[in-house]
Every structure is written in structure tokens, then in C-alpha cells.
Amino acid sequence: MTDAVARWLARNPQWLGRELEREHADGMADTARLWIGPAPTLSNQPPPQELQQMLHISRKFDVAERDERNRRLGRAGEERVLAHERVTLGIAGRDDLARRIRWVSEEDGDGAGYDIASFEPDGQTRLIEVKTTNGWDRTPFHISRNELAVSDERRAEWCLFRLWNFSRAPKAFELRPPLDAHVSLTATSFQASFR
């Protein structure tokens, strides 16, 4: 069965990106608020069976194509969180702060250590790093050394906003530093330099 699905996806690659192709900016006001629940714990709860099947299928795809899909998914997630933040501040009666929210990764580039500069209703700065998946809440994600450094340097302001189940019914949770209190951090990439 898995091989049949992989063959079908190879012949129909547009199917994987179908939810990301729609425009997110129009009509977001109605659905901009996200359900935000508790973060999963560090327990060793096994993943759903469908995750293992999807991981097997995903290994058969072109790496460059997967990276492009992930970039589109990440951008769509950031756009969704941006809309959520604006609506949340508007509901709190802080339209003045909602107008000052910045999509930092889009406007300045992806090196700040966070994607969105927002605010708490009391005016305190809120630096949001968005991580998006179509998978379940415990799907592993990548975080850069810079993002970890900024989370440590600006603990009171920084949060990781985890969007999951994005293409079906987006849900979210937030993690506050220190991140290693919530997740296991494993080095998966190394820089090689000549001596």
C-alpha cells in the first residue's frame, strides 16, 4: 500500500502543496484566531501510525523539492501567526499595537532569531519564532543555533509558536525558554572547516 501511495504522489506532486497555494491574506479575519493548547510533554508517547507511513513516503522525494515545500509551509505558518497576533491584539482593544507588529523574517531576512515582533496586550515586546508542520503536535522540528541563542538572551520576550495539523485544522501551542525544559535538542548538522 505504501508503495502505491508513493507512486501516486510521484505522479501528482502538486497534491502535496495544494493547501499552501491558496491566498492566506484574504479572508483571514474570520479564521485568524488559532486554538492554542498545552504543549506536549517529554514523555515517550509513540507517534501515530500515519506519521511512520508519511516518513517512509517522504524519503522517496527530491530533497530540493522537499526544501521548497517546507519553505512555503513555513511562510504560510508565519503569515497565519501574524494574522492571529493582529486579531488577538485587536480583540484586546490594542489596535495601536496590532498596527506595529512586524514580520521580521519577511521584511529584514531570516537572521534575527525570531520571525515576528509582536506585543502582549500590556505593551511588552513578544518575539515569536514560528515552527509549522502538517503533522501532529509531537512532530520533530529544526531550530538554528542563532534561534537558540536569541531565546536564551531574550527569555522574557521570546517564544516558540508551534503550529501543527496546519493543512487540515491548525492548532498551536507555545514554548517559553529554556527550550531544553520542553524538548530534547539533538545536533543533526555540523559545520566542517579546514584546519
Least confident of 15-19, 42-46, 71-75, 102-106: 15-19
What predicted TM-score, i.e. pTM, was given to this entire model? 0.72
Give the confidence band of 27 by pLDDT, cuts at 50, 70, 90: very low
Spatial CA neighbour of 89 closest among 52, 60, 119, 133? 119
Q: Which domains are present in the chain?
A: 62-177 (3.40.1350)
Checking phi first, is residue 137 left (phi over 0); if not, alpha (psi -120 to 50) or beta?
alpha
76-106: pLDDT as tens digits: 999 999 999 999 999 999 999 999 999 999 9
